[in-house]
Amino acid sequence: MRIEGQPAYVLHARPWRETSLIVELLSRDHGRVGVVARGLSGPKRHPLRAALQPLQHVRADWLGRGELGRLLAAEALDAAPLLTGDHLLAAFYVNELLLRLLPRQDPAATLYERYGELRAELAATTPLAWTLRRFERDLLDLLGYGLPLDTSADGRAIDPAARYRLDPELGPVRDPHHGAGSASGAALLALAADRLPPPAQLAELRPALRAVLRSHLGGAPLKSWSLMGDLAELAAPRGE
């Protein structure tokens, strides 16, 4: 099947053989698609290679052939945001998350639009942690894994003063012991209402949502999680 003029975002590109790339796209009408881009050596192919960098928005043509199609053409639709530091690492994290959770050839037009919004948000001044927590919430919803964040597993309204852990199947479960990975009801309600919480509550959402994501990722954690942890350790002040 030949696909022409399909808008897509580049999630990942890795070398294949000597002059080619295997490229993962998040397309508007066909979801996640893997394609082989052949013969990228030489100055005449530099524009195509540049268009196939992660985060780039492209218009692509490809020929579908089983698990991996053959890229026929691609042109950049705009300039990808210039991200550095934590914002660049966050983009790699989101892309890895999508590669792990999205099946190939499953249409995801709403997720395609949401990714475009995220791409702009990563270059904005919004707190990075809030940008990521909102995207994690929306991604879980769009994949059918979403949880009610304003109602607990027993059907009661979330108590802002209580602590909860997020059960991947049941939703918020009250945690009177304030175990690791639990979050305050106030933090969950803020996320449910799409309202930026105070920094301490925002920090609580990260481990709570990570536990849910981990359950859907299977046994292997994300490589970007390990990298984020290593960088945080290096940045931490050391004792004399």
* Per-residue model confidence (pLDDT) at position 100: 96
Q: Any bridge partners for residue 172, and if so which?
A: 166
User: What's the rounded Cα separation, in Å, for the pair 129 and 197?
Assistant: 11
For 155-181, the pLDDT digits (tens) are 999 999 999 999 999 999 999 998 889
Alpha helix segments (H runs only) across 57-170: 85-101, 109-122, 128-142
Domains in the chain, CATH or no CATH each: 2-76 (2.40.50.140), 126-235 (1.20.1440.120)
Share of the chain above pLDDT 90, in %: 81
**pLDDT tens figures, 182-225:** 999 999 999 999 999 999 999 999 999 999 999 999 878 899 98
HSE, side-chain direction, 13 A CA sphere, residue 70: 7
Q: What is the mean pLDDT of residues 46-55?
A: 90
Q: pLDDT at position 230, please?
A: 54
Residue 65, pLDDT score? 77
Q: Is the pLDDT of residue 234 over 50?
A: no
Mean pLDDT over all residues of the chain? 92
Residues present in the chain in total: 240
- The per-residue pLDDT for range 70-106, each reduced to its tens digit, is 999 999 999 999 999 999 999 999 999 999 999 998 9
Q: Are 102 and 40 in contact (CB under 8 A)?
A: no
Cβ-Cβ contacts under 8 Å for 203 (sequence gap 6 or more): 129
Q: pTM of the entire structure?
A: 0.91
